[in-house]
């Protein structure tokens, strides 16, 4: 009778999800001894590391799960820590047999990789990437977001990943496996999370050159445990610099989304960023125009940055047999801007805002299109 009860407690505890690894504790071999005496359950669990930031939450969830079993009135949770060997077994299991340092987003991966790029900065690329990621997650997709704008990282702030000390949270590490913090269902990694030094300011300037940038992006792709993803978005730095070329080499099968404003001058450089991506073998899957005309309360249109840039870029990037669509025109939106400043994405807080609707329409198209090889250009070495 008590054995049976203990088994039921074990099953309940084993089903609790680790908030960071996003797998059931049973699967992670974190459930230890379970003893039931009368109506009291003693539950042993082993965390991956000492001071695991999710410890309180796991302990609470385990307590609740055990207490929910009929016949249990009191729960005593004993929290231990895995031994180095146990941790090694766990990280190997999480890697799914993949060798260390092997990039999980290669051509055979089922994850669709979408690099969001622009010709110049300030066109709203990061704001759109953050909102697109959240919109895709809200549609039920498993979404990862790599902030590849190492010098100008802004994704943590846009997604509210800022601790009480004003800095992005440091990711939990299990040995050499880095767990990406999760915001609004999106697994996020950014250089901003690695710049926590005592006395460092939140801006934490990064003054690295090519090779370091390449290594950073490579590490984000290999050492960060994203688990199985449907979509991995990359917020690229503006232009066609070192990171763009590195990403082109690391992810030649990636899809590319080009962001531009309606302004002619912005659209010319936007075309170039798409062309360079294509030279590495990546496929341009669409253009998003941002900061398009907004409709004022009296019904007039305010087109601060003119019009037509998105259409022009889509046309210029379209080639015979490979039509590049304009996926959305996102209007100027105080709510979009404000949501970014507050770290609360507008697609969630004001889904009816015209900007949210436009972004979600683009997300709907991206969620629908499976990843494919059609129209992919042959890989050549970029000449820029």
Ligand X SMILES: Nc1ncnc2c1ncn2[C@@H]1O[C@H](COP(=O)(O)OP(=O)(O)O)[C@@H](O)[C@H]1O
Task: Give the phi and the psi of residue 117 in degrees, each rounded to 5.
Answer: -130, 165
Q: Which of 19, 38, 80, 122 binds ligand X (CB under 6 A)?
A: 122
Q: Which of 48, 126, 131, 172 binds ligand X (CB under 6 A)?
A: 126
- Rounded-to-10 torsion of CA 188, 175, 221, 195: 60
Choice between 118 and 280, CB closer to ligand X: 118
Query: Binding of Mg ion at residue 190 (CB under 5 A)?
Result: no
Q: Which of 119, 286, 340, 345 binds ligand X (CB under 6 A)?
A: 340
Could you tell me how far CA 106 lies from the centroid of its own chain?
A: 17
Q: Closest Cα partner for 339 from 136, 124, 131?
A: 131
Binding track, positions 136-165, relative to ligand X; x by CB under 6 A? ------------------x-----------
* Residue partners of 368: CB distance under 8 A and separation at least 6: none
Task: Pick what 336 binds: Mg ion, ligand X, none; C-beta below 5 to 8 Å, kind-dependent.
Answer: ligand X
Instruction: Choose the binding region for ligand X from 73-81, 120-128, 319-327, 368-376 (rule: CB under 6 A).
Output: 120-128
Helix, strand, coil tally for the chain in percent (to 5):
35, 20, 45
Query: Binding of ligand X at residue 118 (CB under 6 A)?
Result: yes
Q: How far is the CB of 282 from Mg ion (least distance, A)?
A: 19
Query: Binding of ligand X at residue 124 (CB under 6 A)?
Result: yes
Tally of CB atoms within 10 A around 265: 13
Calpha distance 383→124 (Å, rounded): 27
Query: Binding of Mg ion at residue 126 (CB under 5 A)?
Result: yes
Query: Binding of ligand X at residue 337 (CB under 6 A)?
Result: yes
Instruction: Choose the binding region for Mg ion from 146-154, 179-187, 203-211, 348-356 (rule: CB under 5 A).
Output: 146-154
Cβ-based burial of 36 (10 A; exposed 0-12, middle 13-18, buried ≥19): buried
Query: Binding of Mg ion at residue 118 (CB under 5 A)?
Result: no
Q: How far is the CB of 126 from ligand X (least distance, A)?
A: 3
Instruction: Choose the binding region for ligand X from 2-10, 103-111, 313-321, 333-341 (rule: CB under 6 A).
Output: 333-341
* Residue partners of 289: CB distance under 8 A and separation at least 6: 259, 260, 261, 262, 309, 310, 311, 313, 326, 328, 329, 330
Task: Pick what 80 binds: ligand X, Mg ion, none; C-beta below 5 to 8 Å, kind-dependent.
Answer: none
Q: Which of 287, 330, 346, 367 binds ligand X (CB under 6 A)?
A: 330
Cβ-based burial of 4 (10 A; exposed 0-12, middle 13-18, buried ≥19): exposed
Q: How far is the CB of 302 from ligand X (least distance, A)?
A: 11
Q: How far is the CB of 279 from Mg ion (least distance, A)?
A: 23
Q: How far apart are the first and last CA of the chain?
A: 73
Calpha distance 345→342 (Å, rounded): 8
76 bridge partner residues: 42
Q: Is 106 annotated as a binding residue?
A: no
The CB-nearest residue to ligand X is 124
Calpha distance 302→316 (Å, rounded): 26
Task: List interacting residues with ligand X (CB under 6 A).
Answer: 118, 121-127, 154, 290-291, 330, 332-333, 336-337, 340, 355
User: Annotated binding site: which residue ranges?
Assistant: 119-126
């Amino acid at each position: 009778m008590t054995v049976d009860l203990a088994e039921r407690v074990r099953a309940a505890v084993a089903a609790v999800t680790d908030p960071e690894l996003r797998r059931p504790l049973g699967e992670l071999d974190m459930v230890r001894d379970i003893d039931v005496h009368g109506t009291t359950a003693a539950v042993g669990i082993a965390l991956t590391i000492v001071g695991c930031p999710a410890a309180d939450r796991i302990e609470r969830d385990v307590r609740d799960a055990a207490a929910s079993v009929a016949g249990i009135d009191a729960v005593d949770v004993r929290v231990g820590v895995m031994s180095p060997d146990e941790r090694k077994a766990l990280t190997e299991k999480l890697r799914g047999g993949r060798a260390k340092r092997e990039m999980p987003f290669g051509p055979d991966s089922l994850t669709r990789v979408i690099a969001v790029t622009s010709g110049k900065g300030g066109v709203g690329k990061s704001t759109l990437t953050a909102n697109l990621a959240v919109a895709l997650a809200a549609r039920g997709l498993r979404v990862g977001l790599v902030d590849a704008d190492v010098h100008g990282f802004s994704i943590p702030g846009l997604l509210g990943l800022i601790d009480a000390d004003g800095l992005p949270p440091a990711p939990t590490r299990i040995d050499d496996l880095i767990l990406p913090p999760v915001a609004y269902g999106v697994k996020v990694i950014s250089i901003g999370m690695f710049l926590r030094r005592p006395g460092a300011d939140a801006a934490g300037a990064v003054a690295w050159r090519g090779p370091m940038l390449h290594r950073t992006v490579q590490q984000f792709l290999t050492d960060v445990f994203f688990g199985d993803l449907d979509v991995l978005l990359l917020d690229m730095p503006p232009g066609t610099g070192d990171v763009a070329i590195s990403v082109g080499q690391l992810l030649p099968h990636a899809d590319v989304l080009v962001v531009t404003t309606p302004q002619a001058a912005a659209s010319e450089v936007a075309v170039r960023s798409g062309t360079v991506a294509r030279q590495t073998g990546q496929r341009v899957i669409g253009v998003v125009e941002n900061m398009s005309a907004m409709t004022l309360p009296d019904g007039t249109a305010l087109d601060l940055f003119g019009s037509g840039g998105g259409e022009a870029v889509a046309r210029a990037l379209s080639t015979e047999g490979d039509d590049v669509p304009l996926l959305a025109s996102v209007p100027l939106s105080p709510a979009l801007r404000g949501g970014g400043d507050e770290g609360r994405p507008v697609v969630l807080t004001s889904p009816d805002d015209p900007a949210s609707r436009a972004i979600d329409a683009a997300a709907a198209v991206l969620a629908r299109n499976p990843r494919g090889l059609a129209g992919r250009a042959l890989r050549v070495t970029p000449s820029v």
